[in-house]
Amino acid sequence: MAAAAAKRRRRRGVLDLEAQFAFFRSQHRHPVNAAAHALLAWPILFTNLLILHFLPLPLDPALALALAYAAAYVAVDLRAGALAGILFVVGWAASRALAARLGLALAWKLVLATQLFCWTWQFLGHGLFEASKLPLAPFEWPAVSDLPEVFLMEPFLILLQILNKHFGYEPYPGFSKNVDKKMEAILRESREELKQRKVT
C-alpha cells in the first residue's frame, strides 16, 4: 500500500491541477466531510493571517502569505486563481482590521479557538465519515512530506470544487471529464490495495 501511495503521489505535481483535483475529490467524497472542509478550511487561513499581523517584522508577513497563495493559484488557473487571490487580499485586509481592533490579548484566543474547532472537525470528517462510511476506497492520510502541498493547494481545490459543482466551471473544456477518469483510476487502485490487504 505504501509503495502504491508513493507512486500515486509521484504522479501528482503541485501545479498539475487535474491530478490534484482528482486526488482531492477521491479523499472528500462523503458529503459531511466535503461540507466540513468547504466551511472550515478558509477560516483556518483567515486566522493564520490574523495572528501573523502581530509578528514584529519589517515586512507584513500576512500580506506576503496572502500574495504567495494568490500567485500560486493564478499559476494553476487564471480565472479561479484570480478569484481566490481576491479572496486572499480581502481576507488580509479584514484580518488586519480585526487585529487592530482586538489586539494580541484577544486575537490569540480567537485564533486558538478557531484553529482547534476547525481542525478537529476536519479530522473527524475524515475519520468518522470518509474512512468508515466509504470503506471500498479507503481514505489515505497524507505523508508528512505532502503537508506543504496540502496546505498550499487544498483551499484552492475547495473553491474549485464549489465552482465546478454548483456553477459548472471548468478551467478549460474537458477538464471535468479528465478529472473524473483520473479519480476513477485512483479509486480503482485503492480498491485493489484493499483486496490485496484482505488476501494477505
Specify the higher pLDDT residue, 180 or 149: 180
pLDDT at res. 61: 97
| Amino acid code (one letter) for 49 | L
Contact 62, 52 (CB under 8 A): yes
If you search the block for the grid coordinates 514584529, which residue do you land on?
A: 56
Local confidence band at 120 (pLDDT 50, 70, 90 cut-offs):
very high
The mean pLDDT value for 157-179 works out to 96
- Tell me the per-residue pLDDT of 26-80, one tens digit each, with 9 for 90 and over: 888 889 989 999 999 999 999 999 999 999 999 999 999 999 999 999 999 999 9
Specify the higher pLDDT residue, 27 or 172: 172
pLDDT at res. 179: 97
Cα gap 20→150, rounded to integer Å: 10
* Domain ranges across the chain: 34-180
Does the structure show a pLDDT above 80 at 146? Answer: no
- Tell me the per-residue pLDDT of 121-140, one tens digit each, with 9 for 90 and over: 988 888 788 766 555 555 56
Does the structure show a pLDDT above 80 at 113? Answer: yes
Does the structure show a pLDDT above 60 at 89? Answer: yes
Q: What's this model's pTM, rounded to 2 decimal places? A: 0.83
Determine whether 166 is exposed, middle or buried from the number of CB atoms within 10 Å of its CB (0-12, 13-18, 19+): exposed
For residue 150, give the C-alpha cell.
496540502
The mean pLDDT value for 110-117 works out to 98
- Could you please report the per-residue DSSP string of 22-59? HHHHHT--SHHHHHHHHHHHHHHHHHHHHHHTTS--SS
Lowest mean pLDDT among 11-15, 124-128, 159-163: 11-15
Local confidence band at 176 (pLDDT 50, 70, 90 cut-offs):
very high
Does the structure show a pLDDT above 60 at 7? Answer: no
Local confidence band at 102 (pLDDT 50, 70, 90 cut-offs):
very high
